[in-house]
Amino acid sequence: MVEKRLLLKDKASMRYISWRRRLFTFLKTLDRRIECGKNAVIMPHVDLRLTDNAKLIIGDYCVIDSYAMLQLSKPEPRIILEDYVTVGRGTFISAKKLVHIGKYSMIGPFCQINDQSHSYAKGELIMNQLACIEPVRIGSDCWLGSGVRVLMGVTIGDGSVIGAGSIVTKSIPPYQIWAGNPARYIRDRD
């Protein structure tokens, strides 16, 4: 049932799989550091920046919309997009360790997901300090509204909804709705 809805023949939908989109996705994923599932779509102008030991795993029927940027930088970066994940237009995902997004999750446009921050101890230039790194995990069937920011070390439980423009600074239990800056509990999902 879900698969039928996702494969409607709507040429305006980013899930519409034309021969051009198939070819573009194929060419973009020739890199040995990228594993790409069947019928995944990478739209034009997606920026994939992968360091030499990076691993980008894109599941079946995933869509990465135009102008999204996935940056995988040292020390041991992995981004895992499970099946049917949608990454919205202009979204930025940065991993130095792990960003994992579960099945059927929708990441709205212009979101930002980071598994790192910067150290800022006094007495040393900030630019010379090491990054603080903690994995980010987003469960299955989650929806992040437009412009959501997810900070390092956060786990968002299955079925959660995050309101547009929210900044997620701490972990969220499954099937809850959160919003705000910083994001706060609103109610359980019915």
Active site positions, annotated: 118
* Three-class DSSP category at 78: strand
DSSP for residue 124: S
- What is the rounded distance in angstroms from the CA atom of residue 23 to the CA atom of residue 4? 23
DSSP for residue 27: H
Q: Beta strands 69-72 and 184-188: pairing type?
A: unpaired
Which residues make beta-bridge pairs with 136?
Answer: 99
Q: Is the dihedral of CA 160, 165, 171, 172 positive or negative?
A: negative
Task: Answer yes or no: are the C-beta atoms of 79 and 72 closer than 8 Å.
Answer: yes
